[in-house]
Amino acid sequence: MAGPVLKSIEHCPPGIVFLDPPYEMEREYAATLGRLGEAPPELVVAQHSIRLALRESYGGLRRTRTVRQGDNALSFFQPPAV
């Protein structure tokens, strides 16, 4: 589903989220990860600039790994294992 993620997740709770807003919209990362952390999906993958420091956790989501390639990074978030 493409579109504004904060509006989209209200209508369709996700199972897996690939988050890739334009890099200049840095506030979208924290807002979206914070909202997703309220009712965590099984996986969130955020593509971002390596210059953007994402937190290790957002609500019920914890970063499990980060893969860097050039100026880009993929950060993987999941709820803690039960």
Cα gap 11→61, rounded to integer Å: 20
Query: How do the domains of the chain map onto residue ranges?
Result: 5-78
- Identify the pLDDT of residue 22: 77
At 12 the three-state DSSP class reads coil
> What global pTM score does this model have?
0.85
Q: Which two tokens stand for residue 64?
A: 């499990």
- In Å, what is the CA distance from 73 to each residue of 6, 13, 23, 34, 38? 22, 25, 11, 19, 24
Top-level class of domain 5-78? alpha beta
**From the CB of residue 49, how many other CB atoms can be counted at a distance below 10 Å?**
13
- Identify the pLDDT of residue 3: 67
Average pLDDT of the segment spanning 6-22 = 78
pLDDT > 70: percent of the chain:
94
